[in-house]
Amino acid sequence: MINSRNVDDLLPEVKEMVNAFIALCKKNGIDIIITSTYRDNESQTALYNQGRTTKGAKVTNAKAGESYHNYRCAADFAPVVNGKINWNDTATFTKCGKFAEQCGLEWAGRWKSFPELAHVQFTGGLSIKDLKAGKKIVFKKVEVVQPVPEIVKPIPEPIVIKPVVVEPIVIKPVEPEPVAPAPVVIEPVIVVEKSVEAVAESAVEPSVNQFSKFINLILGFFGKQTK
C-alpha cells in the first residue's frame, strides 16, 4: 500500500511544477509541505472507506482508479505557519493555490463542486476515464513564456504592373504659314526711247497733218480745195 508524500513519485513534469510551486510559496514567505502525491489503488480504497466503512471523516469521493493521485499527476499540500498546519486558513490556502496556478497547476480550490483547497493537479485535459483507458498526458513546457517566433513564409512581392504611361499624342494644330505678301512686282517701266526724228515727227507731223486736214475740211466746206 503506497500513499506517498514524495514528489519523486509524481510524473517528472508534474514533479517539476510542484517543486516550482513550493519554491514560489517560499519566495513569498509561505512554507508548504506536500502531504500526498502518488497513491496506489489499495491506498485509494482505504482512503475512500474512511468515513464510510472505517472510522474518521470522509476525505475523498474517489474510489480506486478514480483519483488523479492514482496517475501520479496530483498532489496535496498544506501551508505550515509557526510549525503548524491550519486546515481552516482559507486565505493562506488561496494564496498558495494562486501560486500553484502560476506554476501551471490546476488548483482544486476553484472547483465549483467539492472544492479541495489542498489539492493541485495537472491532467493535460484528460479525464479519469481517459487515464483509465491508458491515454498519456501531453505536457507543454510552461517555462517557455516567450512566444516562439513563427516561421513566417516570405510573402512574395506582389507583382506590380506599373501602368504604362502613354504619352498623349498631341496633334498640334498646324499653324497657317504666314502668307507672305505677294511681292510687289515693280515692273520696270520700259521707256521706249524714241529717236529724236520720231519724236519730232510725232510732235510736228501729226499737227501739220491735222492742220492741213483741218484746212482742207474748211476749204472743202467752202467748195475750194487748196491742194
Say which DSSP state 139 is in: P
Told to check if 72 binds Zn ion by CB under 5 A, we report no
Distance CA 100, CA 24 (A): 8
Number of other CB atoms surrounding residue 36 within 10 Å:
22
Judged by CB under 5 A, which stretch of 114-122, 164-172, 186-194, 198-206 contacts Zn ion? Answer: 114-122
Distance CA 39, CA 22 (A): 20
Judged by CB under 5 A, which stretch of 73-81, 87-95, 125-133, 163-171 contacts Zn ion? Answer: 73-81
Judged by CB under 5 A, which stretch of 71-79, 81-89, 138-146, 188-196 contacts Zn ion? Answer: 71-79
Decide if 106 contacts 75 (C-beta within 8 A): no
Minimum distance of Zn ion from residue 54's CB (angstroms)? 19
68-107 burial: b if 16+ Cβ within 10 Å, else e: bbbbbbbbbbbbeeeeeeeeebeebbebbbebbeebbbbb
- Of 56, 22, 51, which Cα lies nearest the Cα of 37? 22
Told to check if 9 binds Zn ion by CB under 5 A, we report no
Decide if 102 contacts 142 (C-beta within 8 A): no
Closest CB to Zn ion among residues 15, 119:
119
Closest CB to Zn ion among residues 77, 92:
77
Closest CB to Zn ion among residues 22, 172:
22
Closest CB to Zn ion among residues 132, 213:
132
Minimum distance of Zn ion from residue 130's CB (angstroms)? 18
Minimum distance of Zn ion from residue 63's CB (angstroms)? 14
Judged by CB under 5 A, which stretch of 70-78, 170-178, 186-194, 217-225 contacts Zn ion? Answer: 70-78
Q: How many residues bind Zn ion (CB under 5 A)?
A: 2
Could you tell me the maximum CA-CA distance found in the chain, to the nearest angstrom? Answer: 203
Judged by CB under 5 A, which stretch of 76-84, 146-154, 171-179, 199-207 contacts Zn ion? Answer: 76-84
Minimum distance of Zn ion from residue 150's CB (angstroms)? 38
Candidates 9, 13, 76, 106: give the one binding Zn ion (CB under 5 A).
76
For every residue of 167-200, which 3-state class applies, written as one string? Answer: CCCCCCCCCCCCCCCCCCCCCCCCCCCCCHHHHH
Told to check if 119 binds Zn ion by CB under 5 A, we report yes
The cell for 22 is 513550493
Please give the residue ranges that form the binding site for Zn ion (CB under 5 A). 76, 119
